[in-house]
Amino acid sequence: MQHHSVVSQEQWLAARKALLLKEKEFTHLRDKINAERLALPWVKVEKNYVFDTPKGKKNLSELFDGRSQLIVYQFMLGPGWGAGCPGCSFLSDHIDGALPHLEHHDVTWTAVSRAPLAEIEAYKKRMGWRFPWVSAFGSNFNYDYHVSFTEDELAKGKVLYNFTETPVPAGSTGTELPGLSSFYKNDTGEIFHTYSSYARGGEELIGTLMILDRAPKGRNEKTTMDFVRRHDEYENTPKLHDCCA
């Protein structure tokens, strides 16, 4: 843990005010970046992607569920894995509470993974989540949006991820990496890809990290999110069926 000097209230207040100026600068920069994100050009989606859902096969248009905006979280759960990526699970723990607010604001959220639907449903039940989650098994969707990679691509040692050709990231789980992509559907049914982010791009969606950033020890990590476990794997944490039976 970082060493901290102990000072008077007056000295602390002076240091806090100096930091506040930087925090305000950061907030204004974030506002500017958000405006530039909204101003990005769009790309029309020409392919007819089809997904397996609990209500049968649906195409990308149907995933909007009557709304004009769709955010797809590309969750790392490949065929046969048995359990989802801990980091993706950490982010997904924050979604259910936001769903009513997103949906009221004309935004549909759905997770997409390449695992078959039965494997997705089993893990979703284990985690106790309610958000929509569909399977891209047999679809090129995750490949086209650069979060899934073929064995041939991996064998070359480099993949196109986060908008650049990069060595296969250390610690990546097989053929999958995380991402988030946003889409808009107009009144005529045309769909446009408006935004994607990868790697740490979705970090601000993880409210726990934002809270820890304000705790005395911060994230208290040696490597990015090394403390994270699936929420039913922390020591002395009740299993879902124990606390909610």
d(CA 106, CA 112): 19
Q: What's residue 156's pLDDT? A: 86
Helix segments in 47-140, DSSP class H: 60-63, 86-92, 99-104, 117-127
Superfamily of domain 43-205, CATH level 4:
Glutaredoxin (3.40.30.10)
Give residue-wise pLDDT tens across range 190-212: 999 999 999 999 999 999 999 99
DSSP state of 204: G
Q: What's residue 245's pLDDT? A: 39
Higher pLDDT, 151 or 196: 196
Q: What's residue 237's pLDDT? A: 60
d(CA 169, CA 159): 9
d(CA 150, CA 6): 55
Higher pLDDT, 155 or 53: 53
Determine the average pLDDT of the residues in 124-145: 96
Residue 198's alpha-carbon distances to 50, 176, 236, in angstroms, are 23, 12, 33
Q: Token pair of 122, please?
A: 């089993």
Determine the average pLDDT of the residues in 143-160: 90
| Region of 40 on the Ramachandran plot (φ > 0 left; ψ -120 to 50 alpha; else beta) | beta
Quick check: 241 pLDDT over 60? no
Domain boundaries defined on the chain: 1-39, 43-205
pTM for this entry: 0.89
Give residue-wise pLDDT tens across range 25-51: 999 999 999 999 999 999 999 999 999
CA angle, 233 then 234 then 238, to 5°: 80
